[in-house]
Amino acid sequence: MIWYLFIPLAPYLLWLLHAALFSPLPLSYNWRSIWQRFAGTLSTVGAIAIVVMVFVVVLSMAQGVSRAYVRSGREDQVVILRPNSRVEMMSSITLDQARLILTHPLLAQDDHGPLATTDIIVSKQVALSDGSGTLSVTVRGTTPAGTRLRSQVRMLEGRWFQPGLSEAVVPRRMLNRYTGVELGRSFDMAGRSWKVVGVFDGDGSVFDSEIWTDVADLRQAYRRYGMNSSMTVRLRSAADVDAFVKDMDRDVRLKLEAKAEPDYFASLGDAGRPMQILGQIITVILTVGAVFAAMNTMYATVAGRTSEIGTLRAIGFGRRAILASFQWEAILLTSLGGILGAFLSLLFNGTSTGAVSMLTWSDLSYAFTVTPDLMAQGVAFSVLMGIFGGFLPAWRASRIPVTEAMRS
């Protein structure tokens, strides 16, 4: 986090704080001085605001991806995979293994039997609504128990799919991003025509990126007889997770890898990382430019107030007071841009978009999530730019000889 960058600067910041509290040069003097060069101040504030906005938006993208995975798991549920299979799409579990797992005494029950589902995961190319091409979308074949296990998923329009009819349901977020999957329409997959009979909401989870259908229909269409991709079960309590995971590994008839559902989804959190890295590179480039903009503004300020600096020195203000005063002026200048940029980032809050997971190569839908913490990090980032961009001009101001300053 950005807060760690303040640790090596702590002695200097404490000295600046002491100067602000006890120096005879008040901060109001610096505040008035900022607006004496109105055009330069506005240009610098605008540059800092753009950098901070990009910085916060990049962090909000990572926050949105993380929140999508966090909302997908329950503490009392376990995902079961073939050993060394990082994702469901790469896993396989036989029907015999699934039947053995259904007899485990730690499984929770409801009126319909054990709360467990055997799923098949495939991918399908779906056309983007803007006509720019297609993206790979995850298709999940699941059971009625699967819809009950994912309590964050609720039907908005239409109804759930029925076995044997080649029906599917799609998330609401997918309707704005893709075409051909609207309610009542049909799409082709694995040599069949699948009709969309329902639209659901996944509450911001990864299920907002998946098309759901009946597992038996999907198994038959893809000829995966006797096999599933994964199994998800709910246990009697979260305290039973460790014991259940050990049983899956020790049972020689199974030898499967089980993970607590939150841990499984947390391991998939690298979706969108390429876009995040690109955003960070852009932020670094913009930061360099913004720091130089702040530095140029402060150098111009020092040059235009040389005689004023000389007067301050002549009436008894020391070099340290001058250094602290101009450093605070730079921090105030960049902080204005930081606050503006942090609020501008709110324009992106809640905006839905997508990224390709580096593990499944399927699209993941998520929403930019701007939080107060991210906005505070943006303002802190602008303070750092003020420190680094203002130090050299402030040092220059404090080192101007009194006689030279008075002559100018």
Q: Could you list the pLDDT tens digit for every one of the 408 residues in the chain? A: 678 888 999 999 999 888 888 877 777 777 888 777 777 788 888 888 998 998 898 888 877 777 777 677 889 999 999 998 888 888 999 999 999 999 999 999 988 889 999 999 999 999 998 888 898 999 999 999 999 999 899 999 999 999 999 999 999 989 888 999 999 999 999 999 999 999 999 888 889 889 999 999 999 999 998 899 999 999 999 999 999 999 998 888 888 999 999 888 877 765 556 666 766 787 778 778 878 888 888 888 777 777 877 778 777 778 888 888 888 888 998 999 999 999 999 999 988 777 766 666 677 777 888 999 999 999 999 999 989 888 888 888 888 887 776 665
Q: List % helix, strand, coil for the chain (3-state, nearest 5).
A: 55, 20, 25
Q: Which two tokens stand for residue 362?
A: 């399927």
Contact in structure between 81 and 382 (CB atoms under 8 Å): no
Region of residue 401 (left: phi > 0; alpha: psi -120 to 50; beta: else): beta
Q: Domain residues of the chain, as ranges?
A: 9-69+271-407, 77-236
Q: What single letter denotes the amino acid at residue 181?
A: V
**Cα–Cα distances in angstroms (integers) from residue 122 to residues 90, 142, 159, in the given order:** 9, 12, 22
Cα separation, 26 vs 34, in Å, equals 13
This prediction has a pTM of 0.76
Contact in structure between 86 and 401 (CB atoms under 8 Å): no
Cα separation, 184 vs 18, in Å, equals 68
CB atoms within 10 A of CB 403: 10
b/e per residue 168-177 (b: at least 16 CB within 10 A) = bbbbebbbeb
Q: Which two tokens stand for residue 51?
A: 């950098």
Cα separation, 318 vs 72, in Å, equals 60
Instruction: Say how many residues make up the chain.
Output: 408
